[in-house]
Structure 1
Amino acid sequence: MDNAAHRSRTTWQHCGVTSATHSTLFPPVPDTADAVLDGLDPEQREVATALHGPVCVLAGAGTGKTRAITHRIAYGVRSGVYLPAGVMAVTFTNRAAAEMRGRLRELGVGSVNARTFHATALHQLQAFWHKAVGGHMPRLVERKVQLVAEAAARSGLRLDRNELRDVTGEIEWAKVTQRVPEDYPASVATSHREPPRDPAEIAQIYRTYEQLKQDRMVIDFEDVLLLTVGVLQAREDLAQWVRNQYQHIVVDEYQDVSPLQQRLLDLWVGDRGNLCVVGDASQTIYSFTGATPDYLLDFRTRHPSATVVKLVRDYRSTPQVVHLANGLLNQATGRAAEHRLELVSQREKGPEPVYTEYGDEPTEAEGVARHIRDLIRSGVPAGEIAVLYRINAQSEIYEQALADLDVPYQLRGAERFFERPEVREATTALRGASVAGRNDSLLDHAVDLPAQVRAVLGTKGWTAVPPKGSGAMRDKWESLAALVRLAEDYARAKPDATLADLGAELRAREEAQHAPTVQGVTLASLHAAKGLEWDAVFLVGLTEGMLPITYAKTAEQIEEERRLLYVGVTRARLHLALSWSLSRSPGGRAHRRPSQFLDGLRPGTGSRAARAAAGGAGGIERGPAVRKRVRRGPVLCRVCGKTLTEAGEMKLMRCEDCPSDMDEALYERLRDWRSHQAQELGMPPYVVFTDKTLMAIAEAVPSNGHELAVISGVGARKLDRFGTDVLAICAGEEPGGVDEAGS
């Protein structure tokens, strides 16, 4: 990191925006109320001094919203307007609540209540139960999956582990959106949800589940909110006690509130106006759980006298990152888009976002891993780098690519690929089938390795057509589909491979990916990245069908996918890289399209106005095969002159059916050398060079580095790493051996 960037980051950190500040910096407690306001920008100061509600803070990403509201609470207490015990601060996660409590302690007001919605409601329910209901309060069931399984069994339905998770999620959604079992099927239709099973079946499970809880005198977390609402509605004296106790209420992440939480909040506030809400409609990415930004967007309608403050000074990201984020939202539609915030970076200039188009997924993963290694070597800590993707199943190829380069990594929000239960079960089944061989009836009609893998994984939940919608069933399918694709790629690189060979390959990958790490690059889904930030962020796999995800059908769902990308972009402080690949595997048909969300943002797409809105962000880098194609225009067959469109033909520079002048003996020597290299380096052979690249080399028989470099699939890195050996083989000489320095 250069000195300017370091100074910028240091200044930004002292603004108190980064969560790292709380664990590494311990500023002295302000000695006066006015000292609490020191260091706040004008808008943050306006929030901090607006001590009487209603107050609505519209806070963009990286603008210091938590700083503003905690200083508001501290200033209110230190100036004598608030009593510490009279403030209720609520948010949505334990991590966010802990961060808020930590900041309040630093400001000298650690006795303020800062909890999640559920923790606050549970505290009140426990306090009121004896007076409002009598007897012992029902036991809280922290994991409802077992009860849901029993409810399904009693309904004559059998659910596997992933279906249980999905059906449980549907029951939770129904309860927080205040739908009873009888209303569930109609609600699914009107909300455009794609449930994991027939809505009538889920309604029956939901009904039986509620009856089981009643019979056993237990409640779940959603019941905590429902029962607290019931108690406060039935007992006005208790509701009034809450309002007298908590005269000032602050709600963080208000765009994520559900109808049930809003109902409880209304009971807490009553007809008083001392309510402060903070949120950003452009960061609403949890609507599938019942969250809605409508309450934030309608706040002014419900509270006409509200003070509204907009926080738009972004202390997290460079102007280049902020310009891209603004450009992304400028293309949005819908209610949230109408209220979008135009962020203004407060940091010094940084590098432009980098757009990279790759020929295939392995090349994309390898390119990202190499870029990350270079950043680490330049001084960026591994823990300040993240790779973000749409679904967890995408992690495997990046785990492997980072492991190949000895780059430490850690997963957030999910197990490592080979630790996931469905992957463990699948690999065990594949190894069992490899031992049984042709005695396994599953393999009777499987003529090749991919067919054998599909046959075995078909017993574990893989199908040719993915399940509808999202959820655990879809996650399981994606993991199994990743194994199927891995088998297809492995068979393409090693046509004679057996199930036993594949089993050995999977074990090698598992061992490489399971190296223990203390500080490493973060791999996470975009949802799991919410609320976090890094110096460098790599947004990968940005193609149509992945972002927006293929099951996002309605305009509202597609706009939520755009907001998800916006959240990913705004996680980056300094370095931002966006990438996609044109095909899944090396030599595959280049039929993929970059995400529609990048239109008008990446150079060469959309209108001039759209590009201006993106701040002229970044140039497109391309992987070796794509770079040649773009630089030279149409690629023509060197035999018949026809324009080539298939990636494999473009590597060969001729049509597949045109005569080849390949030196067969040279090709075989190159394949033998590649196998030795792959074994020594512990990577699949195609990662060294694909078959098509070796064929192109054997046809061209390059005599120097320049002639080798122009062959599609070689490129500068592989030229440095393997060029000497390849040129020696082409000259009929013995290669020098594995290049350890390049690995």
Structure 2
Amino acid sequence: MNLDGLNDCQKRAVKQTEGPVLIIAGAGSGKTRVLTNRIAYLIDECGISPYNILAITFTNKAAAEMRERVEKVTDCGSQVWVSTFHSTCVRILRRYIDRIGYQTNFTIYDTDDQKSVIRDACKKLNIDTKMLKERTIMSAISSAKDEMISPDEMEVNAGGDYNAKRIAGVYREYQKTLKANNALDFDDLIFKTVELLNRDEEVLEAYQERFRYIMVDEYQDTNTSQFRLISKLAEKYGNLCVVGDDDQSIYKFRGANISNILNFENTFPGAKVIKLEQNYRSTQTILSAANEVIVHNIGRKSKKLWTENGKGDKIHFRIYEDAYKEAEGVVENICACVRDGWNYNDIAILYRTNAQSRLLEEKLIVRNVPYRIYGGINFYQRKEIKDILAYLKTIDNGMDGQAVKRIINVPRRGIGATTLERVQEFADANDMTFWDALCNAAEIPNIGRGLSKIESFVTLILGFQAKKQFLSIRELTETILEDTRYMEALAENETKEEVEARQENIDEFMNKIISYEEQTEGDFSEMQTDRENPQAAPTLSGFLEEVALIADIDNLDQDGNHVMLMTLHSAKGLEFPIVYMTGLEDGLFPSYMTIMSDDPTEVEEERRLCYVGITRAQKELNISAAKTRMIHGETQMNKVSRFVKEIPENLLEVENHSYGSKKSAISFGGKDSSESQGHFDFRANAKAALSRYGSGTTTYGQGNKKVAISGQKGIGSAYATNYGRTPTNYGTGNFAQPNKKVGFGKEFPMDIFDLKKPAKTTTSYSMPSKKAAGAIKSSGQAAGGTGLGYRVGDTVSHVKFGTGQVLAIEDGMRDYMVTVQFEEFGTKKMLAGFAKLKKQ
């Protein structure tokens, strides 16, 4: 077999076929190539039957890729068992699970099935799921199974912890129900396979004989149950080869146990350790930076990446005044790269949290740069953002039937599909909107018990509409989240990590609102003499209009040439010629929670994540930080991330774009300028951030105006919303009238809640009649002084909507509002700055 294409260390790894072997494969060191050649070497050179080889990966995609590569390098490759952990276990259990009391035709329960069983178990044990959340119980059971902990062991481990004991009781009932239903959940697949191998010597021996040579990829990501499975199968022959990189262990939150790889030699005496340190991906400068960062971790195996690719350019480190300037700067640099000949798909933007994508997406859209969110969803398409926008649209005018329908049962209000169908039929028959039909629900035939639920929903929205007159958009949104208990409802059905991610997105949405209000108020103050422009002040309609113009543009081009945006976790295993790592600030990356943790391994995990990000870059690495960033609605001063300061200054090319700063203002390995001037109180900032997860108290503010927001304490506080009711001056005193109704903690005139009042509709209903189609009225503005490059009547083109004719050009709040009749998409109104229309 020809191994000439491998370096010396790779050849050693391929040829070391006997006994336990640990291959420490650094980033970009060609580990997949080593694994596939090792399988081929076993078959072609050592005469091992492919039937006796097991290769395990973590994902179906990785398994398919390895299977394909093995088939290319050896004729018998298709006979090798290449699979994921869970697929391997399913195959074993389908054949032998009857040995431990199940039928081989067992069912695999999904998340909804699991929740249903847990709900029933809680009911049986008189546990209130409002006090002890279903997802909390599910997460605890899943973690227990990952650690091979039974219900009895969980109960013993609980000690005097009352809730832990109750969860152990639910776990016991849960397992009884699964057994009675001949069902397994996803975690059981490995748990029960290990149990089977422990209890049945015949089955164990059969698989030990079959899998005489075992290989495991991404070993640093294994949990306890996966470790036990592999150890059991390899126990007889000991020919276990694991491949991984402890420096890329970044999935602790999913149960990954880094000690599996760190303690491999102790677990398997006589193990050979082979390090793959030659990198084929990056320049030496990039690798040197990665080496200098990761060396600060204590819990790791010593290694140092090197390459023959050449030194390469210095790493570009740019510090900006704020997050908006950072996003603008990143996008401007991307445009410059494209002008220099790079393709969009050569470029990736990495960030620590999903919420950071919002500003980047908006700036990319403004510059017409095509992009894609890898492993995620565009910011304005995320569920929680669409839900809040639907509430705001409904409150604004109620004309958007889709928005009303989206949130009528968010959170759940028990308004059934049949009831909603009757409302829609009533609306259609009487030529009214869905919202107007809801307001007149008492007139709908056979509405039944749904009437009271609809009236409660309408009352809620009417209350918000009344509050809209007195509240800013920010305060209104806070009130919506508080009065609907939106975050608490999410916490009932999602994990802590999922809820925290949604909370971060909502926080970023609040930042968007505050930014809009501040910018619009700034514009308004400059236009104080413009008495004829009342729309210059921030309005809900104006905000929704601005968001719609951003969110509606589909920037995924069809040829696949787009910039990739992703979290650092999603970036693992990928590579790009040019990489931008954003938000390199203490408090964001690493986070306040991590820095303030008593567990030093938390910061080490974050440092490994930084190492992963750095080593994604092939040719050029750009890192950036913002001097100020809006966090939970407040503008905070941040210092440069400790990870940046761990990179030697001689590897960096520093550009300081913050106001009044020079390159020398950044000190590496010491304090930065903001800290030395006393602007950054880290403990205070950390305390404020931690309060989200403790007392639930935080603040939102604009400039010097701050509003205290208090969340719910007590049960579920980890998930409690930080949005509370904002103190205002329109409370119980302002509507002290005899004719009033109390709702939502405030008092309003009774007539706004009078659902029987016909308002815009009549009490006499009939079948719909056709209305005359309204013609589009052009402003007649010639746009002579606009500088847009086109006039009313001109033919223009748009990146998404194609060709159309300009019908009107009007002065907007901050930009010209252009109305265009597109040939394929109909009439669209858009801001000229966002539309980027070009005259044909």
Amino acid at match of 1:622: N
Q: C-alpha separation between the residues in 2 aligned to 1:205 and 1:383?
A: 49
Correspondence 1:361 to 2:323: yes
* 1:458–1:51 CA distance, 2 compared to 1 (3 A): same
Give the conservation status (yes or no) of the 8 Å contact 1:129–1:137. no
* 1:673–1:367 CA distance, 2 compared to 1 (3 A): farther
Question: What residue in structure 2 maps to residue 84 of structure 1?
Answer: 50
Amino acid at match of 1:52: E
Q: How far is the alpha carbon of 1:131 from its aligned partner?
A: 6.0
Q: C-alpha separation between the residues in 2 aligned to 1:180 and 1:585?
A: 45
Correspondence 1:72 to 2:106: no
Give the conservation status (yes or no) of the 8 Å contact 2:372–2:556. no
1:709-729 Cα offsets, whole Å, 9 max, x none, are: xxxxxxxxxxxxx9xxxxxxx
Question: What residue in structure 1 maps to residue 6 of structure 2?
Answer: 40
Question: What residue in structure 1 maps to residue 16 of structure 2?
Answer: 50
Which of 551, 557, 563 does residue 510 from structure 1 map onto?
Answer: 551
Correspondence 1:598 to 2:644: yes
1:13-33 Cα offsets, whole Å, 9 max, x none, are: xxxxxxxxxxxxxxxxxxxx2
Give the conservation status (yes or no) of the 8 Å contact 2:322–2:627. yes
Correspondence 1:621 to 2:655: yes
Q: C-alpha separation between the residues in 1 aligned to 2:295 and 2:666?
A: 34
Q: C-alpha separation between the residues in 2 aligned to 1:285 and 1:575?
A: 23
Counterparts of residues 164-203 of structure 1 (less than 5 Å): 168-181=138-151, 199=164, 202-203=167-168
Counterparts of residues 337-416 of structure 1 (less than 5 Å): 339-416=301-378
Q: How far is the alpha carbon of 1:538 from its aligned partner?
A: 1.0
Which of 119, 122, 147 does residue 155 from structure 1 map onto?
Answer: 122
Question: What residue in structure 1 maps to residue 508 of structure 2?
Answer: 482
Which of 300, 304, 307 does residue 265 from structure 2 map onto?
Answer: 300
Give the conservation status (yes or no) of the 8 Å contact 2:57–2:84. yes
* 1:631–1:593 CA distance, 2 compared to 1 (3 A): closer
* 1:627–1:512 CA distance, 2 compared to 1 (3 A): farther
Q: How far is the alpha carbon of 1:680 from its aligned partner?
A: 7.4
The TM-score with structure 2 as length reference comes to 0.65
Give the conservation status (yes or no) of the 8 Å contact 1:357–1:626. no
SS state of the match for residue 659, structure 2?
A: helix
Amino acid at match of 1:505: E
Give the conservation status (yes or no) of the 8 Å contact 1:166–1:473. no
* 1:255–1:632 CA distance, 2 compared to 1 (3 A): closer
* 1:131–1:252 CA distance, 2 compared to 1 (3 A): same
Counterparts of residues 457-536 of structure 1 (less than 5 Å): 457-459=481-483, 471-495=497-521, 496-512=537-553, 517=558, 518-536=560-578
Q: How far is the alpha carbon of 1:81 from its aligned partner?
A: 3.0
Question: What residue in structure 1 maps to residue 693 of structure 2?
Answer: none
Q: How far is the alpha carbon of 1:490 from its aligned partner?
A: 0.3
1:224-252 Cα offsets, whole Å, 9 max, x none, are: 11221122222212111111111110111
* 1:149–1:140 CA distance, 2 compared to 1 (3 A): closer
* 1:164–1:66 CA distance, 2 compared to 1 (3 A): farther
Amino acid at match of 1:592: N
Q: How far is the alpha carbon of 1:210 from its aligned partner?
A: 2.8
Give the conservation status (yes or no) of the 8 Å contact 2:370–2:561. yes
Q: How far is the alpha carbon of 1:146 from its aligned partner?
A: 3.9
Correspondence 1:430 to 2:471: no
Q: How far is the alpha carbon of 1:384 from its aligned partner?
A: 2.3
Question: What residue in structure 2 maps to residue 115 of structure 1?
Answer: 83
Question: What residue in structure 1 maps to residue 620 of structure 2?
Answer: 575
Question: Which is strand-richer, 1 or 2?
Answer: 2
* 1:358–1:129 CA distance, 2 compared to 1 (3 A): same
* 1:180–1:136 CA distance, 2 compared to 1 (3 A): closer
Q: C-alpha separation between the residues in 1 aligned to 2:212 and 2:652?
A: 50
SS state of the match for residue 527, structure 1?
A: helix
Q: C-alpha separation between the residues in 2 aligned to 1:377 and 1:61?
A: 30
Correspondence 1:449 to 2:415: no
Give the conservation status (yes or no) of the 8 Å contact 1:400–1:512. no
Question: What residue in structure 2 maps to residue 562 of structure 1?
Answer: 607
* 1:302–1:387 CA distance, 2 compared to 1 (3 A): same
Give the conservation status (yes or no) of the 8 Å contact 2:487–2:499. no
* 1:509–1:457 CA distance, 2 compared to 1 (3 A): farther
Give the conservation status (yes or no) of the 8 Å contact 1:55–1:276. yes
Amino acid at match of 1:600: E
Correspondence 1:127 to 2:82: no
* 1:251–1:217 CA distance, 2 compared to 1 (3 A): same
Q: C-alpha separation between the residues in 2 aligned to 1:595 and 1:632?
A: 12
Which of 190, 203, 206 does residue 241 from structure 1 map onto?
Answer: 206
SS state of the match for residue 569, structure 2?
A: coil
* 1:165–1:410 CA distance, 2 compared to 1 (3 A): farther
Give the conservation status (yes or no) of the 8 Å contact 1:130–1:137. no
SS state of the match for residue 242, structure 2?
A: strand
Give the conservation status (yes or no) of the 8 Å contact 1:404–1:512. no
* 1:129–1:203 CA distance, 2 compared to 1 (3 A): closer
Q: How far is the alpha carbon of 1:149 from its aligned partner?
A: 4.7
Question: What residue in structure 1 maps to residue 228 of structure 2?
Answer: 263
Q: C-alpha separation between the residues in 1 aligned to 2:539 and 2:40?
A: 67
* 1:572–1:83 CA distance, 2 compared to 1 (3 A): same
Question: Which is helix-richer, 1 or 2?
Answer: 1
Q: How far is the alpha carbon of 1:198 from its aligned partner?
A: 6.1
Q: How far is the alpha carbon of 1:111 from its aligned partner?
A: 2.5
SS state of the match for residue 524, structure 1?
A: strand
Residue-pair matches, total: 601
Q: C-alpha separation between the residues in 2 aligned to 1:463 and 1:585?
A: 21
Question: What residue in structure 2 maps to residue 726 of structure 1?
Answer: none
Q: C-alpha separation between the residues in 1 aligned to 2:819 and 2:623?
A: 28
Q: C-alpha separation between the residues in 2 aligned to 1:461 and 1:317?
A: 48
Q: C-alpha separation between the residues in 2 aligned to 1:155 and 1:673?
A: 60
Q: C-alpha separation between the residues in 2 aligned to 1:624 and 1:387?
A: 21
Counterparts of residues 277-288 of structure 1 (less than 5 Å): 277-288=242-253
Q: C-alpha separation between the residues in 2 aligned to 1:265 and 1:355?
A: 44
The TM-score with structure 1 as length reference comes to 0.73
Question: What residue in structure 2 maps to residue 728 of structure 1?
Answer: none
Amino acid at match of 1:151: I
Q: C-alpha separation between the residues in 2 aligned to 1:550 and 1:84?
A: 50
* 1:241–1:585 CA distance, 2 compared to 1 (3 A): closer
Amino acid at match of 1:88: L
1:430-474 Cα offsets, whole Å, 9 max, x none, are: 11222379752772795322212221233465789x999960110
When structure 1 is superposed on structure 2, of 180-189 and 478-487 the one drifting more is 180-189
Counterparts of residues 578-727 of structure 1 (less than 5 Å): 578-584=623-629, 591-601=637-647, 603=649, 616-623=650-657, 625=659, 627=661, 677=815
Question: What residue in structure 2 maps to residue 729 of structure 1?
Answer: none
Question: What residue in structure 1 maps to residue 62 of structure 2?
Answer: 96
SS state of the match for residue 481, structure 1?
A: helix
Q: C-alpha separation between the residues in 1 aligned to 2:819 and 2:659?
A: 23
SS state of the match for residue 473, structure 1?
A: helix
Correspondence 1:546 to 2:591: no
SS state of the match for residue 625, structure 1?
A: coil
Q: C-alpha separation between the residues in 1 aligned to 2:245 and 2:122?
A: 42
Give the conservation status (yes or no) of the 8 Å contact 2:55–2:82. yes
